[in-house]
Amino acid sequence: MKNASYNFLDQFFAHLTTLDLSPNTVSAYRIDMADFGKWFVDTNGREMTPTDVTSIDLRDYQGYLQTVRGLKPVTVTAV
């Protein structure tokens, strides 16, 4: 996740630090977003920007987490 998505994510994570969240929570969000970004690039062949992500992408990613990564549905819903 570089370019436009990188700038957007930097702003998002900077905002998270202003909230009353634990550093572990922010770190977990960062890891989850990096994983989703990699999946998006691998699936769509291009870098992700926030306006590119659709509800279909999110549903497909949840399916990927369950079928390929073997995560339980309750875990995927929490992600």
Q: Are 44 and 38 in contact (CB under 8 A)?
A: no
User: How crowded is residue 72: how many other Cβ atoms within 10 Å of its Cβ?
Assistant: 10
Please count the structural domains in the chain: 1
Q: Could you give the CA distance from residue 51 to residue 38 in angstroms, rounded to a whole number?
A: 16
pLDDT of residue 6: 59
What are the pLDDT tens digits along the chain (79 aa)? Answer: 445 555 788 888 889 989 989 989 989 999 999 999 999 999 999 988 888 899 999 999 999 999 999 999 988 886 5
Domain coverage including residue 29:
3-78
User: How crowded is residue 40: how many other Cβ atoms within 10 Å of its Cβ?
Assistant: 21
Q: Could you give the CA distance from residue 1 to residue 36 in angstroms, rounded to a whole number?
A: 9
Q: Could you give the CA distance from residue 7 to residue 54 in angstroms, rounded to a whole number?
A: 19
pTM score:
0.80
pLDDT of residue 5: 53
